[in-house]
Structure formats: C-alpha cells, structure tokens
A and B are shown apart, each in its own frame.
Chain A
Amino acid sequence: MALLQISEPGQSAAPHQHRYAAGIDLGTTNSLVASVRNGIADTLADTDGLHLLPSVVHYGDAAILVGQAAQQMQSSDPLNTLSSIKRLMGRGTEDVSRLGEVLPYDFVADVDSNVPRIQTRGGNLSAIEVSAEILKTLALLAEQTLGGELSGVVITVPAYFDDAQRQATRDAAKLARLNVYRLLNEPTAAAVAYGLEQNNDGVIAVYDLGGGTFDISILRLNKGVFEVLATGGDSSLGGDDMDTAIGEWIISQASFKDIDAQLSRQILMAARAAKESLTSLEKAEITIQQGDQHWRGGIDRAQLDELIQPLVKKSLMPCRRVLRDANISKQDIDEVVLVGGATRMALVRRMVGEFFQRSPMCDLDPDRVVAIGAAIQADVLAGNKPDSEMLLLDVLPLSLGIETMGGLSEKIIPRNTPIPVAKAQEFTTFKDGQTSMSIHVVQGERELISDCRSLARFELRGFPPKNAGATRIRVTYQVDADGLMSVRAEETTSGIAADIVVKPSYGLTDGEIETMLRESMDHAQDDVAARMLKEQQVEAKRVIEAIDAALIYDGDDLLSKTEISKIRQVRDQLEQDIEVACADRLKKLIKSMEQVSETYVARRMNTSVKAALAGKQIDEVKL
C-alpha cells in the first residue's frame, strides 16, 4: 500500500546502485536462500516464517509443489514426489542402480541422453529439471522479500562435487533463468560466514556432513583472504545413509511381507524422525502403520550409535587425506567448524572431536551457515561492497587426467591445485596422414580409467594431413573458478584452432538444455500467473499487517467508529480471500483497502508524526 508503506532508508538513498543478490544452498534434504540486507547476512523466511525449504518437489495433476507442501505428499504419492534429488545430479544411468535403495522411483531408460530420468506425472524428468524447480522457488522468495529482481546469485555445491555434478548445478540454474555469479564450495561458504562473523584468523577445518554429501576442507583465514589448503570428501555419504541404516534395522526387526514404494518411504521417514529425536532424547518410539502391515518399537541412543558408527568412521578417512594434502598436522588446526544437519548428532560431534583432538565449534547454525556465507560472497560479487578485501581462493577437488594406452589415467592437474588453472600438453600424430585425434578426460585419483569418473570425450578434427610426428597439437585444459573444465586445442605449426566435438559423459548436451528452455517458455505464462498471485498474496498480508499496526497505534485518535468499521470490513474481506482469490481479485481488494484508508493516511501524515514517518516503516515509528 503505497502511502502506508514507505521504503527503508538505505534503499531510497540510491536505489539504482544497489543490486539484489542472494546466496543459495541447494541441499540434498533442505535448501535455503540468504541475502545481505542493511549490511547483515541472513537466511530468508517464507510467508510461514520457515527458513528451510525441504528439497522436495511434487508433480501433481495441475501444479508443481515445492517444499513443505510437496513433503506432505510423500507418503500418499511417493512416485511423483521427488526428494534427495541432489544425489542424482551429474550422475549416469548406471549409478542409479547403486542409489536405487535410497531413491525409490521409476527410472526410465532414455536412449537419446545419458541422464537418468524419473517417470512422473510431470513427464520423464532429469535431476536438473527437478533442481530447477527448487531454485525457482528460492529465487522467487528472495525477490519477494527483497522487493526486486535478482541481478545474480551464488549457488553452493559440495566441495567434492566433480565436474559433471557442478555442470548439472549450473544447468539447473540456467533452466531457472538465474544469473549465476559463482558456484561456491559449501565448506568455503561456511568458512566465510564463520571467519567474518567471528572475525577470526587462523587455520580451520570445516567438517560438513549434509543430507547426502560429505566434505572436509582445511582453510587458512587471513585478513579477508580465505585460502583453501586442501579439500576432500565423499560425494555420496550423508544423513540419508543414516536414515537408510536405521530403516534397514527397522526392517530387520519387523517382519513385513511385502515392501512397496509407499511402505519403504514411510520406513525411511520414521527412521529420520527417530534419528532426529535421538539428538535430544535418549529413546525414540517408532510406529509404522500401513494397511495391514504395522510395527511398533523403540530405539535408544546406544542402538543408533551402533548403526551409524561405520558411516561416521567412513568420513574420517578423507579427513586424514586432507590433512596430508594440506601438509599440516592435527595440532596446526585452530578450530573445527561443524556444518550440515547431521553434525547435530552426538556421536558425530564426539568422533570428530576425538579425531581432531579438540572439541568442535558449533555456535553457528549448521543448517544456515552455508547459505549465509554464499550471500556474503554474492553481495561482494554484485558490487555492493566496493571496498571489500574479501578473496576466496579455492582448489580443484579431484585430479584431472586423460586416458593413456592400456586404460590408465595420466594426471594432468592434480587435486588441490588452486583454481582457476590451466595446463597445456603437446601431442603429435602417430600415423601418416592423421587428421584427427580423440582425448578422453577423466576425474579421480585412481590409476585405472575404469575407476575414475569419465567427464568427456573430445574429438579434435581438421588438422592438415602430414607425416607421422610432423603435426603437433597443443591441448590446453582449463579449470575455471567454478571448478568447471574446458578444453581447447591448436595445431602449433599453423596456429589453427582444432575443431573440437565434446561428448559429455554425463549431463545434458547444450541442445537438450536449449530444448528444455524453449519448452519452459510455453509454461512461462503459468509461471507468470502463479508468480503474480504469490506477489499479491504477499502484498495483501503486508497491507493487513500495516493497517493492523496503524489502527492499534492511533486508529482511535484519528478515526471515528464508522470509519474504523469501514476499514475493518475491507480488511477482513481481504484476509478472508487471501488464500482463495485470484491475483486480480486480490489486487482490487488491495486497491479498495487503499481507497478506504486514504483519509486515515492523510490525517496521519498531517499530524506531527509526519517527520518521524519519513524513511521509516510504520511499525518502526510506533516504537
């Protein structure tokens, strides 16, 4: 409502200079969006006051639901309700069978693409499309809260994500039409939030155990420079695996005849609930009830610890490696910072503390710290802090190599090399008249190509036919600041750039992304309508809050009883319609709300509060 809502002082001073930017933590279990407002970085809450958006998408007959609403459909419609989708980002079809026990969906074979697709009511969907829905929801929340279009975002990824997983995240952002300033590693983001909030320098270890991924990073913090010394982890280890372990225990205790998707989802949800309540309680009750199958039992802390202990132990191996790669000992570490919901568990804290020989720091909310760090970087990258000295120096998490004779990997860029980085290699033709050559790029530490992750096959074509050895080709592997790889090649004698055909081993081709973007244009109108409705709903709530606050403050002084009741009538109508009316109807109601309170606003402005009101919100004035 124009007259009652006067903009905040910071924004009205130079609105054209400030760019809206946000940090997005796209998590396996939950996702968050954060932004820097008035110099303070914090996560943003939705209209229900919730900061954590469950990373769940439900494909219904008419609409796509994201978050809490989608989560509620999980038991009743498991096959169309997709969760933990991050585990599939950048994964190939053959990985799916391995993850199948955690992801109980109908996968469909897709001959045209090497991306696993899930059959849902919304079509056969890739993890990229599902993630794009989550990103859209978060971006919308940010734009509504901030009151303007986002000029750019920083999206966090597990440090241990490989090239394909990072590319998939970028593609999801592209589908959601977001301008990505940077992909930021989650532990680095946490370090930024930790370092800036606590104003601490020194060497820190960030232990990040999320829903589906585990990262360990060692950083050196020095006057705004965040230098990653080494990073390691396990891109499929997290709280989800604990749920599965507990779920398997439940199954071993109960004797279910037949476990279908619905029951298995219910078991997993019960397992997670038990795990969470055992964070504060010593014992948890579990009840499973579906049709004629039911089980009731209890699990205590000791039993839980026994089940998850192997998983926590699994996380300690990368911790050892990362210390070695950083070339430091446990004693050199000044602080251990815990990130990720799973680090709330007592056993995790105890084992991590024992390993690093110091009690870990947990002052920061492990769920929110990553998004907050991303928001701080987004704010700097947007140019809102021209004097900022902040600099994030990250590393390549997994070695890049190429396939050589005999199926072996030759390391081109070793892990933990600071990025961006480029490395050139010279090749020569080995046959007379040879005009093309192919390079297979892999990522990973193992010797055998088959044990590494295949990234792409590059076909170099079009060099002039010469005798064997006469043609020299210089191939440059480039890793950018997002940890993404590209390859270029030129013939050194002529300087002619070779024609490169890239076949990504996993992930979508540019063509596929184009098609998806075009298709989403067709849905764009629905999206616009949904967005307008959401905007009007938010506006309506704001108007109601503003008028309520005003009436309490000076309604009785400035208005007659009839005037008040007229205002109340429109206000109540608006409140009643807020969830059910269409955007146009809400807009009209808001308009009439404005009209009916016009005199009231005028009177308020004319009284002595006029000066006090300038540049402030009404609820501030009241204080």
Chain B
Amino acid sequence: MQTLDLKQSYFELFGLDLKFDIDLKQLHSEQQRLQAIFHPDRFVRASDQEKRLSVQQASWVNEGYESLLNPVKRARYMLQLSGLELNDESETTSDTGFLMEQIAIREEIDECHSNADPLSCCEHIAVRLRSKADQFGAEFVASFSQGALDEARLTSRKMQFVARIMDQLMDLQIELEEELEI
C-alpha cells in the first residue's frame, strides 16, 4: 500500500504554501483525495498491518485538515513549525488594554439576556468579534512575515481569546433561539 511521509508538514501534505491565507477549497479537495486513498473503508479486507497503517495515515490526514482549517490552530501550527514551543496553559497575555476589552465584551454578552431584542444584541457583538478576528489575523500575518515570532505568538493568543468568546456567544444565541422558539 501507498504510504505518506509523516515527516512532511501539513502544508506540504495538502500541497499548500506555508502562509496564513490558504486556499480552503484546495485544502478540502486534497483532504478528500487523500481520504479516498487511505480511509480504513478501503482496507476492510486487508491484513491487520495494512489496516493499522490505514487508520494511522487517515488519522494524520484528518488531524492535518483540522489544524489548517481552523485559523487559530493554523496560526499556532505555523509558530510550531518555526520552532516555537507553545504551551496553552502557561501562556498569558499582559496586554491590559486587550484584557479590559475582553472583560467589557463578556459583560455585554451577559447583559444581552435582559435586552429588549437579545438576538440582535448578540448579532452586533458577533459582528464586532468577527472584525476583531480579522484584524488579529492580519496582525499575525504581518508579524510572522517579518519574523517577529514572539509578537505573532501573542497575537495568536488573542485570536484564541476571541474564538472562545465567539463560542460562548454562539451558545447564548442558541439558548435564546430556543427560548424564543425560532
């Protein structure tokens, strides 16, 4: 059976250039092309060793796909490829302005519930968060391309914060929709 070079980067695996703005269509079609070769369904009647290999390679393709699909994960992965050791637990941001902003947004989200039109209140925050995400994405690209990796890492942390708040906001939206039966 065919085997993949597990030492190559995910960017190489999917035939993509090492940069933040990737062609998501290509990522998707390459993932499907690779799964068509390595998916365990192609090896149900093969030897145990081939089955194991297939699970390993198909898993690796999926892990790569997920790592590049999600912008935050993609940014973190690029930093890792550049030799940075990342630790989610111990890393914090000391940018007080950013932290204050985050706290303010969280408070706003909590207040949405008592708003007369809670859903559009959520939507307003979502729009702002999306533009924040875009802004940090652009900042990441700038720092990374200049080789300012530490700065890029801090930006990637901010991207992570924003993504988490976005998740919370979506949870609230679903709860509200449920209450309002939309």
Q: Across the interface, do B66 and A481 meet the contact criterion of CB distance under 8 Å?
A: no
Q: Across the interface, do A391 and B32 meet the contact criterion of CB distance under 8 Å?
A: yes
Looking at chain B's contact residues, the main secondary structure is: helix
Q: Across the interface, do B63 and A423 meet the contact criterion of CB distance under 8 Å?
A: yes
Q: Across the interface, do A324 and B58 meet the contact criterion of CB distance under 8 Å?
A: no
Instruction: Kindly identify which residue among B32, B58, B62, B173 contacts A225, using a CB–CB cutoff of 8 Å.
Output: B32
Complex Cα distance A423/B40, Å? 17
A139 to chain B, nearest CB (A): 18
Q: Across the interface, do A421 and B59 meet the contact criterion of CB distance under 8 Å?
A: yes
Q: Which residue of B lies closest to A392 (CB)?
A: B41
Given contacts A225-B32, A227-B32, A418-B66, contact A478 B59 (CB under 8 A): yes
Q: Across the interface, do B62 and A321 meet the contact criterion of CB distance under 8 Å?
A: no
Number of A-B contacts (CB under 8 A): 67
Q: Across the interface, do B62 and A421 meet the contact criterion of CB distance under 8 Å?
A: yes
Q: Which residues of B contact A383 (CB under 8 A)?
A: 45
Q: Which residue of B lies closest to A380 (CB)?
A: B41
Instruction: Kindly identify which residue among B36, B41, B62 contacts A381, using a CB–CB cutoff of 8 Å.
Output: B41
Q: Across the interface, do A381 and B63 meet the contact criterion of CB distance under 8 Å?
A: no
Q: Across the interface, do A393 and B35 meet the contact criterion of CB distance under 8 Å?
A: yes
Q: Which residue of B lies closest to A389 (CB)?
A: B36
In chain A, residues 501-519, which have Cβ atoms closer than 8 Å to a Cβ of chain B? none
Given contacts A422-B56, A481-B55, contact A181 B44 (CB under 8 A): yes
Q: Judge if B140 is at the interface, Cβ distance under 8 Å.
A: no
Instruction: Kindly identify which residue among B44, B65, B170 contacts A152, using a CB–CB cutoff of 8 Å.
Output: B44
Q: Across the interface, do A391 and B39 meet the contact criterion of CB distance under 8 Å?
A: yes
A488 to chain B, nearest CB (A): 11
Q: Across the interface, do A418 and B44 meet the contact criterion of CB distance under 8 Å?
A: no
Complex Cα distance A392/B32, Å? 10
B80 to chain A, nearest CB (A): 13
Among B45, B60, B173, the most chain A Cβ lie within 10 Å of the Cβ of B45
26 interchain pairs, CB-CB under 8 A: A182-B44, A225-B32, A225-B36, A317-B174, A320-B177, A320-B178, A324-B170, A324-B174, A380-B41, A381-B45, A382-B45, A383-B45, A389-B36, A391-B36, A393-B32, A418-B31, A421-B59, A421-B66, A422-B56, A422-B60, A479-B59, A480-B55, A481-B39, A481-B40, A481-B41, A481-B55
Not counting A182-B41, A317-B174, A391-B35, a sample of 17 additional A-B residue pairs whose C-beta atoms are within 8 angstroms of each other reads: A317-B178, A320-B174, A320-B177, A381-B41, A381-B45, A382-B45, A391-B41, A392-B41, A419-B62, A420-B59, A420-B62, A422-B56, A422-B59, A478-B55, A478-B59, A479-B59, A481-B40
User: Using a CB–CB distance below 8 Å, which chain A residues touch chain B?
Assistant: 152, 181-182, 225, 227, 313, 316-317, 320-321, 324, 377, 380-383, 389, 391-393, 417-423, 478-481
